[in-house]
Structure 1
Amino acid sequence: MRGAVAVLVLLFCLSGTWAQQESGEVRENDTTETTQPDNWAELRALRDMMVEPRVEFHKNTVEELKRENVSQAAELSTMGEGLNARKGKVEELKRENAKLWTRLARVEAKNQDQDAELFKLEARLSSIEQEVDELKRENTDRPKVAFSAALGRPVGPFNTVVTLVYNNVITNIGNAYSPVTGAFTAPVRGVYYIRFTGMDNRISKRVGVSMKKNGKYHIMWAGQKNLADYQYVSNAVILELEERDVINMELDAGFRLYDDHDKHSIFSVFLLFPM
């Protein structure tokens, strides 16, 4: 390109020089016939030789640019379609994501409800455990009193009232019953359940038993006349006893009780609850 420009400049300068020489010669000799070649025609030919290739080059360049532009436009169109497809996919993913967030919110709400219910259950369980521990402590601290004893032999009849001694001890938790004296002594103040059973196997004979508190207070009596073999009498009572109160069973004068290894005549007491 720079070479072509230099040639044009040179030709322009030469054309100017030739024009001056031609103009001078004409003035010196107006009648002399011009014998110089037509320099302007040569310059125009040279100019055309330089310009036409450049025009052709520009045309080719323009065509090439047009083809590149068309190709780029096609690529942009393809990219635009791909972009639109991606946008559609993104929108679909957004919708799916919104659905997932909704489901997650529901699950979290459900979990919160379950956590609240679990908290209530744990609080209730803790309360129950405390109550159980309290009951265990009460049960541990609570005195344990229970006994049962049988006569183990026939007793009576006697001419006077006698205290019955049940010396065949079956159970004696707390050692509140004495198999020597036949007396039950309350170890603590509380409510007690007291029961006895008496039997006689003599026909037409009287059988009966009475209960005394502290040796003088009559609590109850049970008895009857036998009409057949193995006639039983029994009774029970719930008493509020103070600590050291004594309960014993007595056989009235003329009465008889029968017992053997089968334990027909029994005296039993157990503590319901202390007070």
Structure 2
Amino acid sequence: MRAAISLLVLLFSMCGAQTRSTQIEVQTESQSTGAAAAVAEVSPQLDVSAELKELRDMVVELRVTLRYTQDELKVMKAENSDVKERLVASETKVKALEMVTAAQEAKLTAVKTRLAATETEVDNLEKEIKPAPKVAFSAGLTNSGFIESGNTELNLVFSRIITNVGQAYSSTTGFFTAPVRGVYYFRFTVMEVLSSRYMEIQMFKNGQQLMELYEYDSDGKATYLSSGLTLQLEVGDEVNLRIPPGHRLYDDSNNDSTFSGFLLVPL
């Protein structure tokens, strides 16, 4: 019995020791856990403070940057406003210049139209109004005294050229040839010394007689015949003077007998 009781006491003692040991272990573990928790609590607090400081610095930097950016935006807005004003002014000037240019182009078009019309009128006038050819001649008959026709009709060749503008009269053939279509005037004066005889002269156009004049005298003195005609001639028409058979004329250096003509109006 005593042995049993001693065994129970021993068992209780061992349980109590084991219990205290367990409590000590528990307390030790609790203290270790608390220290670790304290360290863990201090460490995050230190990390958060550093991050907060870093964030504050970033915020300050961002604010400074934002301030500079806002200032730059204000300057850019002012410049943009000035540019817009200049652009509006330039557009106004451009519109005004466009209106002026349009008006000038309209005037230029009108001037070109008038110029074209004027050039057309000038061309038409140039076609209608051609430079009038210059045609005029005068020639003396001879310098040798009497010229007689004999038994045949004699074509008179006024060989002593006084004037021959346009070279339409031939001192070789005695024919005037019209260089242009127009109205011409011809005149002649011839002399003969009549002693109971006739003086006679004829004007021809293209071989057809247009006029014949004659004079009779018996005093033995110089007698003159003078006349003229206005003729409408075509290009190439010929005019000449003749005396019939058995007649004569006289001329010397005084140009007693002459033949003249000139263009009055070109047609």
Please give the TM-score of this superposition, normalised by the length of structure 1: 0.49
- The structure with the greater share of residues assigned to strand is 2
Larger radius of gyration: 2
